[in-house]
Structure 1
Amino acid sequence: MNILVIGPSWVGDMMMSHSLYQTLKQQYPNCEIDVMAPNWCKPLLERMPEVRQAITMPIGHGAFALGERYRLGKSLRHQYDMAIVLPNSLKSAFIPFFARIPIRRGWKGESRYFFLTDLRSNKKDYPMMVQRYIALGFEKGQIPNAADLPCPVPYLQIDAVAQQHTLKKFEKQTALFAQRPIIGFCPGAEFGPAKRWPHYHYAKLAEMLIEQGYAIRLFGSAKDEAVGEDIHHALPDTLRPYCVNLAGQTSLNEAVDLIADCVAVVSNDSGLMHIAAAVQRPLVALYGPTSPTYTPPLSDKAVIIRLIEGGLMKVRKSKDSDQGYHQSLIDIQPNMVFEKLIGLLAKA
């Protein structure tokens, strides 16, 4: 059986989708899985052994582009027995429909009844995003309830030789680290400062860790470079050599290799948090308005800190501080994170 998965467009969601691919291999042992996703996803999919190939989705996130979706679907005809559509949008179901794939499976969403042959409507029975992905790996009528649903943990393969090449590339930036063990910080978040732990808390934590003999790598995309610089400049002059800002300087592949090289990671709820969990790094995950019930780090080496109750809060901007930070994240003090992190390191 050949299966086409229409994948998600975000790093964290892509990482959680790995649990589905593992489930598909368990349910259909001889299946071959191809995943259609944005080109930036390829480094992650290439590290998932269950995936045969990544097919580039050439259409930008949010673009309708019906004609291009038709042409792409037509080019995939007679290649697949089943398609699984992970995004909830109507347009995400077009390509498998145009490809005439016999079984087209997905959750109910955006009036796409006509386009899916195996439509699931009980999404709310599965409170976690990863559970919703995994449930699509089962035949209808054979899906365990949420409490009994097996959850394979996402993981990424690390090639030791490739990792050494990555470490060699960035050795000048970390030359002053000497033999200090390295802690990774992931201070960015997709939707801005309301989902970020304050930069001054990260800086204080970095100061505490450097004084204990650690060094700090800051990770993120180009748009996180500024917050990385805020953290770096908030450190005392004498400690700055032991903190390097790599935000915007690494490819996704290089970030995976470098995160895997850290002894532990501290992260906001972000895609890099899910990568840190997937490479089995001891992890302190910091949550505010987002929900650890819905999208937790899937690792037994992770500790979550969240000081408020309730589910996902749809906060895009916050007026709780001049910098836009949310009060629930401001209230997480550096000493709380330090204690949890040291506890994880002691266990490791």
Structure 2
Amino acid sequence: MNPSQPIRAIQDNIARVIKGKASVIEMAVVCLLARGHLLLEDVPGVGKTTLAHSLAQSLACSFKRIQFTSDLLPSDIVGVSMFNRQKQAFEFMPGPIFANIVLADEINRTTPKTQSSLLEAMSEAQISVDNQTYPLHQPFMVIATQNPAEYHGTFPLPESQLDRFLMRLRIGYPSLDDERQVLERAYALHPAENLQAVLSTDGVLELQQQANHVHMDESLTDYLLAIVKATRHSELLSLGVSTRGALALNKSAKALALVRGRSYCLPEDIKQLAPVVLPHRVMLNRTQGLRAQSFEQAEQIISDILDTIPVPV
């Protein structure tokens, strides 16, 4: 299958709803093809949930939305074993995590115990209940949203949870012209409900396989590792990028090359992805102010590191 046509179809389909955010849409598709999970962090009302819903609607895959609240339990996500009187045995009732695309809406509004129920699913695409392991559907992607501006009644994601997300994106406010188009549309339902699927489940899996086989030159691997090493030796950081982070940047670069119609990676792929793949995986030596401000500082540190690493020719 020629990857360019279905990838473009997905992007164009989402762009019918999310106006003026081509780069954000591209990164979301890259995250999907890299078999990763996406964290959308921005102020309310800029389209985080709509982006996730539009991506799911563009694929002929199962989709479940979980509204995270303070009283949500782990069993509400993964499922629970219930006694079946007819069979005289316990029977597992799957939770909403058993879907191809799972929207974890306002993930920071639930307790750390419930947040941690996603760790195994996001890392190994499986869940364990009552000493039984259940594989999840493939493809599997968690798209989580959170609001960085509000802290009352929220539980910030721990570093171990953040590290499971391939990317951390911000959508930002649209331009006035794009916002005008949104205002002029009239929808009786959610705008994403009008979208039709443009790619099957098998098509997604095939594109993910093609992304795995994109060529990355040895010099680019050395370049990537030099960036990761620099984060571990930076005086501004108390914790650098882990091996999982290096793998995430490697997978993302290959997926971005495929999205842009190439069978090989370029240094620009790594440089463009590092600011969305690496900052949420590091810890500052001195964290002052809000976590959102700290994340912006981490982005700046990663950007400064990129300026110091020689780019391979």
TM-score tier (shorter): under 0.3
Give the alignment's TM-score, normalised by structure 2.
Answer: 0.24
Q: Larger C-alpha radius of gyration, 1 or 2?
A: 1
Would you tell me which structure has more helix in proportion to its own residues? 2
